[in-house]
């Protein structure tokens, strides 16, 4: 079986290509390299021994995408391609809605024309907004508090409605909590452009001396130690969750949504301490004001994926920090260096 992986050169998409390959599914990568290096292809070959097919393309170019669908003879699409920076989305909402929402609608139109009726969509726990209860299950109300999050809410609605209109269509929305970590080989990991927005890459860059100090955005939350709590999930567990979801539903129709999380939360201080243990380095940090839009705590009720898909996260916090540290020390300046 062949599947098209949009954004497959990115952090989560590339790790998912490995999981797909290991499951006997051939990934064909479609990516415009706006947030990834072409060298990811080399790294994927080092890990798998296989040179994946790669198409340099933009999901906003409907003709280009449709041609890729027809030529690659795929039976499904794994859709990772998106812009994902919350802060940037607030400053440039139209850019985000164009790249994430309009382009995906055009993709879905092309899929209908090519009679490709299966999509696995990268959604996000950000669709839950401020939790009304914890742990968060899939029935929790969805509403975002930034244009990026709204782009995910909108696309979930689009997929839901398409599955009603087209009884042959099957869509799976996977709501990722906080993906972290790197492939255990040390060949592949997260390479954010510029100053990292997310905690784990910032800690890693501080540990390797690229950043001076970690700013903890608030230590006065109603959490175990006052710092923010999140459900961090190893990117390899996340990747395997995509394969489990697709294999379970590949003969189905309809709209399906799953949380992909571990079901437990760690605080910022716990993450810093865990990383210190992995790197055997004291990581400097300071308390800074809360970051606008941050919530105190969220973590997943991950039982639906376990009960229906037989999938659950197995990697530990030290796996997440050990694997990140290995990647960071191998490639302190990312793959381009």
Point out the residues that are catalytic: 148
Looking at residues 4 to 43 of the shown chain, list those that interact with ligand NAD (rule: CB under 6 A).
6-7, 9-13, 31-36
DSSP 97: I
Residue 24 exposed, middle or buried by CB count within 10 Å (0-12, 13-18, 19+): exposed
> Cα separations (Å) of 316 from 52, 236, 264, 298?
29, 11, 11, 18
Establish if 59 lies at the interface with ligand NAD (CB under 6 A): yes
Smallest distance, ligand WQD to C-beta of residue 281, A: 17
CB 326 within 8 A of CB 186: yes
> For ligand WQD, which stretch binds (CB under 6 A), given 95-103, 212-220, 248-256, 319-327?
212-220
Spatial distance between the Cα atoms of 35 and 82, rounded to a whole number of angstroms: 10
User: Pick from 15, 84, 242, 315: which binds ligand WQD (CB under 6 A)?
Assistant: 84
- E strand or H helix at 214: strand 214-217
CA distance 77 to 112: 12
- Contact partner at residue 291 from ligand WQD, ligand NAD, none, CB < 5 to 8 Å by partner kind: ligand WQD
Task: Give me the least distance between CB of 320 and ligand NAD, in Å please.
Answer: 13
Q: Are 275 and 322 in contact (CB under 8 A)?
A: no
Q: In the complex with ligand WQD, which residue's Cβ is closer, 41 or 214?
A: 214
- Residue 50 in the binding site for ligand NAD (CB under 6 A): no
Nearer of residues 192 and 226 to ligand NAD, judged by Cβ: 192
Q: Does 198 bind ligand WQD (CB under 6 A)?
A: yes
Round to whole Å and give the CA distance between 175 and 258: 6
Least gap, CB of 105 to ligand WQD (angstroms): 19
* Residue 224 contacts which entry, ligand NAD, ligand WQD, none (Cβ below 5-8 A, type-dependent): none
Q: Which long-range contacts (CB under 8 A, 24 or more apart) does 279-282 make?
A: 279/207, 279/321, 279/325, 281/207
**What does the binding site for ligand NAD look like in residue numbers (CB under 6 A)?**
6-7, 9-13, 31-36, 58-60, 80-82, 84, 99, 103, 122, 124, 176, 179
Q: Report the interface residues with ligand WQD, using CB under 6 A.
A: 84, 86, 124, 126, 178, 197-199, 202, 214-217, 228, 230, 268, 291, 294
């Amino acid at each position: 079986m062949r599947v098209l992986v949009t954004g497959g050169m990115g952090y989560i998409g590339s790790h998912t290509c490995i999981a797909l390959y290991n499951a006997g599914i051939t990934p064909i990568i479609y990516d415009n390299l706006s947030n990834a290096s072409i060298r990811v292809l080399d790294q994927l070959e080092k890990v798998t021994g296989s040179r994946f097919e790669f198409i340099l393309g933009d999901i906003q170019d409907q003709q280009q995408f449709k041609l890729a669908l027809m030529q690659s003879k795929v039976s499904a699409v794994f859709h990772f391609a998106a812009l994902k920076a919350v802060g940037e989305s607030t400053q440039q909402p139209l850019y985000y809605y164009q790249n994430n929402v309009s382009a995906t609608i055009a993709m879905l139109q092309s899929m209908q024309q090519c009679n490709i009726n299966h999509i696995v969509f990268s959604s996000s726990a950000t669709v839950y907004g401020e939790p009304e209860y914890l742990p968060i299950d899939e029935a929790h109300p969805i509403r975002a508090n930034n244009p990026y999050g709204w782009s995910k809410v909108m696309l979930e609605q689009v997929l839901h409605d398409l599955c009603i209109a087209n009884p042959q269509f099957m869509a799976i929305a996977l709501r990722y909590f906080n993906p972290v970590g790197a492939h255990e080989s040390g060949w592949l990991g997260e390479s954010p452009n510029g100053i990292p927005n997310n905690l784990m890459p910032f800690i890693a860059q501080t540990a390797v001396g690229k950043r001076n100090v970690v700013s903890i955005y608030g230590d006065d939350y109603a959490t175990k130690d006052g710092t923010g709590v999140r459900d961090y999930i190893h990117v390899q567990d996340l990747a395997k969750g995509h394969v489990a979801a697709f294999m379970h539903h590949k003969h189905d129709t309809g709209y399906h949504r799953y949380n992909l999380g571990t079901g437990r939360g760690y605080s910022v201080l716990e993450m810093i301490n865990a990383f210190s243990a992995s790197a055997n380095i004291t990581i400097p940090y300071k308390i800074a004001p809360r970051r606008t839009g941050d919530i105190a705590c969220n973590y997943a009720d991950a039982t639906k994926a376990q009960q229906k898909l037989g999938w659950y996260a197995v990697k530990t916090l030290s796996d997440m920090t050990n694997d990140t540290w290995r990647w960071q020390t191998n490639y302190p300046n990312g793959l381009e260096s």
